[in-house]
Amino acid sequence: MKNVNRLVNDIFSEMVEWRRYFHMYPELSFEEVETPKYIAEFHRQLGHEVQEGVGGRGVVAKLKGAKRGKTVALRADFDALPIQEENDVEYKSKVDGVMHACGHDGHTATLLGVAKVLNTMKEELEGTVVFIHQHAEEMQPGGAIAMIEDGCLEGVDVIFGTHLWATEPLGKVMYKEGALTAAADRFEVKIKGKGGHGAQPHLTSDSVVIASQLVMNIQQLVSRNVDPLDSAVVSIGSFEAKNAFNVIADQALLKGTVRTFKSEVQDMIMNKLEKMIKGACLAGDATYEFNYVKGYPPTINHPVETELIARLAKETEGVTDVVEYHAQMGGEDFAYYLQHVPGTFFFTGAMKSNVDQVYPHHHPKFDFDERAMLIAAKLLISATLTYLKESVDSVSVTS
């Protein structure tokens, strides 16, 4: 087999160019047009089978090796966020109010690099590789579930994916068997009171006071209802009650998120939340509307595939630290793929070392060390080749 490290290193400058192009021309979830066109044309130039419009705006490319074997899927997302970039870099976003603030540009460039390298090995490849380029990871219901329904996993035996993790050092690879990311739900509560003059609060049903009391009550929901050995988060992210300074609003709107790992905890919080809303409105002579939307399920990594990544990471060029990571309360729709086929999702450290401050994902000054793409690409290629070879060897032994 060819020298993977050399092949990946040789195209690193191209990977940086691809990443920076995507960064300069970001597209929002469910609005991706030019990005999937670019990806599809790239794979066509390599001679891969290409499907566009998968699940809406996704792209699926297929590389068939010269030898028979299993099928490995590799996934990268390519949507951006509605954030105005504040970085002063030559590859700064050229689209007002839209930015790659989570590293999806790097995920896509990494997978294109993986595809280019594996394409040079097709005569030796013992199986098939499916490249899943997914749209709309950032916005529910997400692109994964629609792509799966459209057949992107047909014939797939295993799937691998990674997230460039800019808050952890370059060279660090983080894996975890079982739950890695949480179920990510959202909810809205509209409190309907009775407005009036700010000088006459006794004649109103103050929606602002009721909503404020509810926000404070919610802070006790997890601490007094969830087993301390379990994990859950309930956060209010938006509180709107627009009005003149001297007018008591007749309505207040709260928006928030719930993060859980267990379905029974998720259901309990949903039910308790409505009881709290009902109680606050009953006490304040108000009514309410409550809308709760279950989002992505928890990402549950499979044991065999997770062990494979952990083992290969220790042998991957550029990796200096391999750790079993802690679960994250963030959401990730890679979870849907793992409900259908075995696989694992891991984090690749990508922290910039030459900056005064490291900014988190979804921040206007988010950025990452592009050398992390080298590590991610080498590990994904190693996982692909090893899985295919070990599968073939296993069949040979049993037969």
Mean of the per-residue pLDDT values of the chain: 96
**Residues 340-355, mean pLDDT to the nearest whole number:** 96
Give the mean pLDDT of 191-220: 97
Catalytic, 105? Answer no
User: Is the pLDDT reported for residue 111 higher than 60?
Assistant: yes
Q: What pLDDT digit, counting tens, does each position of 133-174 carry?
A: 999 999 999 999 999 999 999 999 999 999 999 999 999 999
CATH 3.40.50.970 fits 4-180+298-398, yes or no: no
Give pLDDT, residue 126.
96
**pLDDT surpassing 70 at residue 1:** no
What residues contact residue 232 under an 8 Å CB cut-off, 6+ apart? Answer: 222, 226, 258, 259, 260, 261, 265, 269
* Catalytic-role residue among 32, 137, 332, 370: 137
Domain 183-296 belongs to what architecture? 2-Layer Sandwich (3.30)
79 classed as catalytic: yes
Question: 54 and 150 in contact (C-beta within 8 Å)?
Answer: yes
Per-residue pLDDT band at 393 (split at 50, 70, 90): confident
pLDDT tens digits, one per residue of 355-386: 889 999 999 999 999 999 999 999 999 999 99
Measured distance CA(34)–CA(365) in Å, rounded: 24
pLDDT per residue as tens digits for the range 40-75? 999 999 999 999 999 999 999 999 999 999 999 999
Those residues with Cβ within 8 angstroms of residue 168's Cβ, 6 or more apart along the chain or in another chain: 174, 347, 349, 350, 351
Domains of the chain, by residue range, sit at 4-180+298-398, 183-296
13-45 pLDDT tens trace:
999 999 999 999 999 999 999 999 999 999 999
User: Whole-angstrom Cα distance, residue 149 to residue 264?
Assistant: 27
25-34 burial, b at 16+ Cβ within 10 Å, e below that, comes to bbbbbbebee
Confidence of residue 394 (pLDDT cuts 50, 70, 90): low
Query: Is it the case that residue 201 has pLDDT exceeding 80?
Result: yes
Catalytic-role residue among 27, 32, 77, 79: 79
Question: Would you call 43 helix, strand, or coil by DSSP?
Answer: helix
Q: Is the per-residue pLDDT at 223 higher than 90? A: yes
CB 187 within 8 A of CB 256: yes
State the DSSP code for 298: P
* 349 has pLDDT over 80: yes
- Taking the model in full, what pTM does it have? 0.93
Pairwise CA distance, residues 245 & 248, whole Å: 8
What was the pLDDT predicted at 392? 73
pLDDT for residue 398: 53
Q: pLDDT tens digits, residue range 255-299?
A: 999 999 999 999 999 999 999 999 999 999 999 999 999 999 999
Burial of 198: CB neighbours in 10 Å, binned 0-12, 13-18, 19+: middle
pLDDT number for residue 5: 96
Average pLDDT on 126-131 reads: 98
Interhelix angle 372-398/303-313, nearest 10 degrees: 120
Banded model confidence at residue 354, pLDDT cuts 50, 70, 90: confident
Which of 126 and 356 is assigned the larger pLDDT? 126
| DSSP bridge pairs for 291 | 188
Q: Is 129 left (phi over 0), alpha (psi -120 to 50) or beta?
A: beta
Asked whether the predicted pLDDT for residue 396 surpasses 60, the reply is no
